[in-house]
């Protein structure tokens, strides 16, 4: 599994867990006072959850940025090699034509 898919999976699991928890609390057979108490606990955990999500997204963004940079460097290297090969081939063809032109 690629890093992109892993990051999306982690984010999806965190968001899904939060949504499932809230939905479960709202549907659970409890008195209103108990449900409000549990919801307060869940709501107080939201900032930590948001921070974890933010950290995860930052980590994935950094990984993607590094991968894009590595890909760019590789592309530039291949382009330089192709240009050098093209120049060498062009010079070789010109050298081959020169002796024939003097005849």
Average pLDDT in the chain: 81
Predicted confidence (pLDDT) at residue 10 exceeds the cutoff of 70: yes
Q: Mean pLDDT across the stretch 32-42?
A: 79
Tokens of 73: 């460097």
pLDDT bracket for residue 100 (50, 70, 90): low
- Angle between helical axes of 3-27 and 32-102 (0-180°, round to 10): 160
CA dihedral 10, 70, 75, 1 (to 10 degrees): -30
Q: What is the pTM of this model?
A: 0.42
Domain ranges of the chain: 3-102
Alpha helices in 1-103 (DSSP H): 3-27, 32-102
Could you give the percent of the chain with pLDDT greater than 70?
A: 90
């Amino acid at each position: 599994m690629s890093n992109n898919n892993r990051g999306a999976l982690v984010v999806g699991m965190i968001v899904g867990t939060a949504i499932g928890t809230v939905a479960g609390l709202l549907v659970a057979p409890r008195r209103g006072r108990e449900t409000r108490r549990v919801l307060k606990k869940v709501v107080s955990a939201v900032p930590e959850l948001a921070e974890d999500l933010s950290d995860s997204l930052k980590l994935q963004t950094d990984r993607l940025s590094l991968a894009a940079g590595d890909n760019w460097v590789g592309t530039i290297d291949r382009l330089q090699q192709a240009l050098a090969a093209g120049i060498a081939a062009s010079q070789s063809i010109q050298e081959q034509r020169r002796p024939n032109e003097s005849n």
